Each structure stands twice: as C-alpha cells, then as structure tokens.
Structure 1
Amino acid sequence: MFTFNHYNYNVLDLEKSMAFYAAALGLKEVRRKEAPDGSWKLVYLGDGKSDFTLELTWLRDRKEPYNLGENEFHLAFQAEDFDAAHAKHKEMGCICFENPEMGIYFINDPDNYWLEIIPNP
C-alpha cells in the first residue's frame, strides 16, 4: 500500500518561487532541509489541509533554466472560490492557458511549471 507524499519542482530562485506559491495558492513552508555546504535546499510547501506537499529544490550551482520539454505535466489545485481565484490570477498575470469548455485554467510559476486550477465539484 502506498500513499501520496510529495511532488518536486526544481527552481532557480527559491525565494521568488516561495513568494509566488504563497501569493497565488496560499502554500506555506512546512519543513526544510539544507546541505551543510549550502549547495542545495529543499523546501516543502503545504496547503494546511492535506498532508501532500510540493517540494521546491534549489541547487546553488544551477544557473540555466530547467528544460521542461513540452511541459505536458502539471499539478492541479481545487479552488474553493473559482471566480475569485481566476480574478486574482488574472491580476497577477500568471494565467497561461484557459479552457472555458472544461471550466478550468492554468497558471505558470516563475520557472514556467504549469498548475491547473479547477472548481469545487
């Protein structure tokens, strides 16, 4: 038996990414691990409701953007107030794709990872 635990995104600017996830999705740091020599940091973000976390990995020596291929993967978040979330993300300028027929949209983070926003069922 297995249980979901966390998902990882590698990021270039840890503080910028943490600020984005806090502002856009309300995620907050729940734990952190750091290399003794400062070469990497792992920050786990949580939604305060579930045990699932998003791990942001920062590598000191990484300078070039990560190759996300065709970016055909994403995390999905359920919005308690879909219309308010859409308005907030539109104001933030982070909506990268909308599918009104399906009733969903996507935002992208500072490293261009896509995050799907879906309404409550």
Structure 2
Amino acid sequence: MAGAAANFRYMHTMIRVLDLDKSIAFYTELLGMKLLRRDDYPGGKFTNAFVGYGPEETDTVLELTLNWGREEPYELGTAFGHLALGVRDIYGVCAELEKRGAKIPRPPGPMLHGTTHIAFIEDPDGYKIELIDLDTMG
C-alpha cells in the first residue's frame, strides 16, 4: 500500500477516567494543556473531554472519557505503557510538578542505557506519563 501514510493522521489517544474534573485539572493546570472541548452524550451515558497543546485539526490530543455512574477505578491493564511529553529542564519541571502535588514514581535522571534524562509522573487515575528532557536527547 504505497503512500498509505499520506491517507492517515494520528488524531488522539483515549483513556477512561474516574473523575473528569480532577483529570482535566491535572492535564490543564499541571501539564499546561488546554481544554479543547467537552461533550456530554446522554444516550450513551458518557462525557468526552479533549485536551492538548494545540487544536485537534493540526495536533494530536488526549481524549478523557468519563462513563457515567462508574464508582470503581479502572484496571489499567498490562498492555498500556505510557504517554510521553517532551520538556526542557526536566529537573525544574519535576520540582514544580511535585510542589503542586504530582506523583513522581520515577524521579528525573539518565536512562539506564543511554544519556537522555527522563522521569515518570502519574495522573489522578494512575496513568503513567513519561517526561523526556529535550535538552539531553541523543
């Protein structure tokens, strides 16, 4: 299928969340994304919120899905790995995130088998987000 990539555009990743307002606050207030839209679907009993660093028309975004009436946290499973964000000054970013209440299960530091510095943080539902220091990528 030569040239097939020209027919596709990566649009979003969807994760299910237990508390939509808490998740929106995490991604917008701590990670600097913007709430792009939020839509209720009463017939399906769910709400979708899209957050990202740019408009859906040109940027890949994150879809947060709240299934109404859910009271128990989701099992994250073993197939999902993490989301990844590039940052400058990973040590300063992590210090600020920690000060603002973010969980940082893997503090910033060099990769075990490389020179790039990384860290992992967790959102309110326990999804892991890798922070990659753009200044040390190599």
TM-score, normalised by the number of residues in structure 1: 0.88
CA deviation string 1:33-89 (max 9, x = no partner): 211358210000011386110000001121111001347510000013323211112
| Secondary structure at 2:16 match in 1 | strand
Question: How far 1:101 sits from its partner (Å)?
Answer: 2.7
Q: Which structure ranks higher in relative contact order (CA pairs < 8 Å, sequence separation ≥ 6)?
A: 1
Please list every run of 5 or more consecutive structure 2 residues that lacks an aligned counterpart in the other structure. 112-116
Are the equivalent residues in 1 in contact too, given 2:94–2:108 (CA < 8 A)? no
Aligned with 2:96 (options 83, 88, 93): 88
Query: Which of 1 and 2 has greater Rg?
Result: 2
Answering whether residue 48 of structure 2 is matched by residue 42 of structure 1, we say yes
Aligned with 2:29 (options 23, 26, 29): 23
Are the equivalent residues in 1 in contact too, given 2:88–2:133 (CA < 8 A)? yes
Please list every run of 5 or more consecutive structure 1 residues that lacks an aligned counterpart in the other structure. none
Which aligned segments of 4 or more residues in structure 1 are displaced greater than 3 angstroms?
none
Letter in 2 for 1:96: P
- RMSD of Structure 2 on Structure 1 (CA): 2.0
Match of 2:81 in 1: 73
Aligned length: 121
Letter in 2 for 1:117: L
In structure 2, distance between residues paired with 1:51 and 1:36? 28
Match of 2:131 in 1: 117
The share of aligned pairs that are identical, in percent, is 39
Return closer, same or farther for 1:3/1:12 CA change in 2, 3 Å cut-off: same
Match of 1:3 in 2: 9
Question: 48-57 or 60-69, which moves further after superposition?
Answer: 48-57
TM-score, normalised by the number of residues in structure 2: 0.78
| Secondary structure at 2:97 match in 1 | helix
In structure 2, distance between residues paired with 1:93 and 1:24? 8
